[in-house]
Amino acid sequence: MNWTTVVSARELAGALERSDLRLLDARAVLSEPAAGIRGYAEAHLPGAQFADLNQDLSDLNRAGCGRHPLPEAEVFARKLGAWGIAPQHQVVVYDAGDGSMAAARAWWLLKLLGHARVAVLDGGLAAWRAAGLPETAETPVPEDMGAYPGSFEASRIVGTDEVQARLTESPGWLFDARAPERYSGENEHIDPVAGHVPGAINLPYARNLRDGRLLPVEELRASLSAALAGGDPDRAVLMCGSGVTACHLLLAFEHAGLSGPRVYAGSWSEWIGDPQRPVARGN
């Protein structure tokens, strides 16, 4: 196993008995925070641990950092150890469907710690069930591996100051993964201010999907290369509402072989925390 972006349900099913495999269930519903753990308790992939978006993949006590602030690296490292995850393991993360809520977020956090072998289940639990693969309600009790060694690679995390400093650059470096109606400000149903960062280009993560799974690599690469318009992926910054679905856009870039983009962790919900920051609306 050497999965670093996505893995199919059939491939994963063939490796369930591997001793070096670790599974994380990251199902999340923004409007109903308890839905994920409730669904996990009913049925999940054999051996999977539950990773809660709000409690494990975020630190909601950090004020001024958007709706889903990053957890402290040390805290997340201890949770990984408690889930039985160490550097030698192949980790696969899944959620209810396409990976955007919030499997890709967990994938990115592991990448920030330097974990190479971590992938998202392509199509998530929906694809697993469509294939008629096994589930269980049993909660595993893993061996605590101790805190995962390492810390987040800070250079891969973009802050608001950097975004603000780059506003004078020509468009083509900042990409907003939200749906078009939220990007334009036409229908903002989550954050208190509608619109987008001036100069940001709308690149909805959902356009990289077909039937809940990532597009074939060549098709994905062509689409994302067109969005870059000849620009270097290393210049690209990805954002969304709170730094969660932006991770799915990063996953798509990585799977397409266009490595280098970074994530604006606080994203729109942090940007609008200061009313002095400029807001654009429309397309």
pLDDT digits (tens, 9 = 90+) for 44-88: 999 999 999 999 999 999 999 999 999 999 999 999 999 999 999
Q: Pick from 117, 152, 187: which residue ends a domain?
A: 152
Whether residues 19 and 92 fall in one domain: yes
Q: Quote the tokens at residue 264.
A: 């604006």
Asked whether 246 and 177 are in contact (CB, 8 A), the reply is: yes
For position 51, what pLDDT does the model report? Answer: 98
- 134 and 190 in a single domain? The answer is no
pTM: 0.98
Q: Which of 6, 240, 256, 263 is catalytic?
A: 240
The verdict on 206 and 105 lying in the same domain is: no
What's the domain range around 140? 6-152
Q: What is the number of structural domains in the chain? A: 2
- The Cα–Cα gap between 158 and 171 comes to 17
Does 48 share its domain with 72? yes
The answer to whether position 204 is within a domain reads: yes
Residue 242 maps to a domain: yes
| Domain-ending residue, one of 152, 169, 192 | 152
Pair (188, 130) in one structural domain: no
Regarding whether 159 and 126 lie in a shared domain, the answer is: no
The answer to whether residues 174 and 66 belong to one domain is no
Question: What per-residue confidence (pLDDT) applies to 247?
Answer: 98
Residues 6+ apart with CB under 8 A from 71: 56, 57, 58, 59, 109
Domain presence at residue 276 = no
- Say whether both 44 and 176 belong to one domain: no
Tell me the C-alpha to C-alpha distance, in Å, between residue 259 and each of 70, 85, 232, 234, 253: 22, 25, 10, 7, 6
Beta bridge partners of 237: 174, 262
Q: Examine residue 282 and state whether it is found in any structural domain, yes or no.
A: no
Quick one: 128 and 161 in the same domain?
no
Are both 218 and 252 inside the same structural domain?
Answer: yes
CA atoms within 13 A on the CB side of 210: 5
The domain that holds 128 is classified in CATH as 3.40.250.10
Segments of the chain with pLDDT less than 70: none
Does residue 97 sit within a domain?
A: yes
Last residue of a domain, one of 152, 170, 205: 152
Q: What's residue 133's pLDDT?
A: 98
Specify whether 75 is located in the same domain as 187: no
Active-site residue, 240 included: yes
Give the pLDDT confidence score for residue 105 in this predicted structure: 98
Q: What is residue 235's predicted lDDT score, i.e. its pLDDT?
A: 97
Angle between helices 245-255 and 217-228 in degrees, nearest 10: 110
What pLDDT, on a 0 to 100 scale, did the predictor assign at position 121?
99
User: Both 76 and 179 in a single domain?
Assistant: no
Whether residue 280 lies inside any domain: the answer is no
